Amino acid sequence: MFTVSAAAAVQIKKSIIETKAEGEPLRVAVEKNDKGEFHYQMGFDNHSKYGDVKAVSEGVELVVDAASANLVAGMMIDYIELDGKMEFVFMNPNDPNYKAPEE
């Protein structure tokens, strides 16, 4: 399963309130295109599907479909400043384009 950072959790919780999505988990899906690149989607969704994997991270309910579960194993969603604006980033060691942050 995947996790969210504390900063991402704060923004997700704000979005839940702004969009009136209380009680709906954050659904994340990953599609692998023909070039092997990952395309991420996320949104609030209260419709359970067969095979869904559920978890809680930083107080945020998370769900991922069975087809995406292996692709997001060990991933963390963070909320950081990139090029002067705040964005969600998917730090996924399964993604061929992922580069671990330098320490």
Rounded to two decimals, what is the model's pTM?
0.89
Does residue 102 form part of some domain? no
Any domain includes 101: no
Q: How many domains does the chain have?
A: 1
Q: Is 103 among the domain residues? A: no
Domain of residue 54, CATH code: 2.60.300.12
Residue where the block lists tokens 């930083």: 58
pLDDT of residue 22: 95
- In-domain check, residue 96: no
- Strand 85-91 to 76-82 pairing: antiparallel
In a domain, 67, yes or no: yes
Q: pLDDT for 19-44, tens place per residue?
A: 999 999 999 999 988 888 899 999 99
Domain containing 79 equals 3-91
56-77 in b/e burial notation, b at 16+ Cβ within 10 A? Answer: ebbebbbbbbeebeebbeebbb
The number of helices, as runs of H, and strands, as runs of E, in the chain is 2, 7
Nearest to 29 by CA among 61, 52, 4, 60: 52
